[in-house]
Amino acid sequence: MQLLDKLERKLGRYALSNVTVYLIAGQSFFYLMFMTGQLDRRMTYYSAELLMQGEWWRLLALPFDPPRQSLIFTLFAWYFFWMMGSSLEAHWGAFRYNAFLLLGLLITVAVSFIVPWEPMTNTFIAGSIFLAFATLFPDFQILLFFILPIQIKWLALITWLGYAWQLIVGDWSARLMVLAAIANYLIFFSRDIYLTVRQGKRVAARKAERAVRRDGPVHRCTTCGITDKTHPEMDFRYCPKCDGQYGYCQDHIFSHNHITKKK
């Protein structure tokens, strides 16, 4: 991405390192406040409708909206988020990782104005991080349910299927958040996807060519065109007087005009 390269050269020094740690710290604070009853869970709800009513602080609270499941699940989610985010930052660099997160947030906010009355969450932004991690490290293995070893690319496939299901049967809020997450991912991986598809077409073409060669005839009569596939009982020979490798069936090996190249 040439534009991203230019932005990194100009603004790279302003990138925030270890941003995943700060996000988890902020989410931990809100989660603790919710658990102790110091804050109402609705404090981190975000919707464009509330934003347009003047509650601009909800825009800042959106990245720090914590998971709303049990403590054990939340701790596991934070660990997984830290592992993936740190790996992406180490692979891309702080600026590109910051840009990926910011882009996901901005797209989510943008699509929220299409259905301003619907609440939006950062769940699908985290989903785009997971898909990016699975794309860059497809063979990374985790223990599913702490027992079953599985490569993360298969979990990513399940995620894609889940997104497709949400697009089909989900409400407009879920559909738009899925599209936001996919848009974020596609913007960053469009070139990789293009190269993969092009490489896949080349591989498929080579396989098809090899299959044609493997299944095609070995011998063909230059005069009548029959082959060892159409006439397996026919005997084919090559003429030593023709200028090149020209084969003939037994009916034409002695009755053809010899081929000579013009000089």
Is the per-residue pLDDT at 212 higher than 60?
no
Beta bridge partners, 237, equal 248
User: Quick one: tokens of 263?
Assistant: 């000089």
Q: Model confidence at 55, in pLDDT bands (50, 70, 90)?
A: confident
Range list for CATH 1.20.1540.10 in the chain = 2-202
Q: The tokens 């009513």 sit on which residue?
A: 53
CATH classification code of 2-202: 1.20.1540.10
Q: What is the mean pLDDT of residues 30-52?
A: 81
Phi, psi of 82, deg, nearest 5: -65, -45
pTM metric for this prediction: 0.67
Q: What is the mean pLDDT of residues 48-52?
A: 83
In this prediction, residue 211 carries a pLDDT of: 54
Judged by phi (left if over 0) then psi (alpha if -120 to 50, else beta), residue 37 lies in left
